[in-house]
Amino acid sequence: MIALGCDHAGVNLKKAIMQYLEEKKIAYLDLGTDGEPCDYPDIAKQVSEKIVSGEAEKGILTCGTGVGMSIAANKIKGIRASVCNDCFSTRYTRKHNDANILCMGERVIGVGLALELVEIFLETEFEGGRHQRRVDKITSLEN
């Protein structure tokens, strides 16, 4: 299960992601907004809580830049949210950081690239090993 959320500046990109997930028969939860103006921290919190509770395995957040969503989501214990605008960063934030939320900016990247990043984010496994130790150190910073 993938938790999705956006603010008003990321709604078109989120709708494209929803269509992509439907085509791929990947289940998702849409936590808003449908386009009404809203504050991105409220949406980041809702998506993050679905991941922390185990209701969703990963999340995708979109706003104008992806940055506000990532700053907000990373305040929640257990969340590793990455803003990615390229394939390499997206692949390695899964392999090395075990990122559980992908953040993207609708005002930054096009839909074609964004959907490729979604595919990479959902298909790439965490490598573990020495990277697990580093992720554990990130977790220890939360306490």
Residues 53-72 contacting ligand RB5, CB under 6 A: 63-65, 67-68
Closest CB to ligand RB5 belongs to which residue? 68
- Residue 18 or residue 108: which is nearer to ligand RB5 going by CB? 108
Adjacent-strand bridge partners of 138: none
Query: Annotated catalytic residue: which of 38, 84, 87, 96?
Result: 96
* Cis peptide bond prior to 33, omega within 30° of 0: yes
Q: Which of 40, 44, 102, 115 binds ligand RB5 (CB under 6 A)?
A: 40
Query: How far is the C-alpha of 51 from the C-alpha of 93, rounded, in Å?
Result: 17
Structure tokens at 133: 């130790």
Query: Annotated catalytic residue: which of 6, 38, 63, 84?
Result: 63
Closest approach, Cβ 58 to ligand RB5, in A, equals 20
Footprint of ligand RB5 (CB under 6 A): 7, 9, 40, 63-65, 67-68
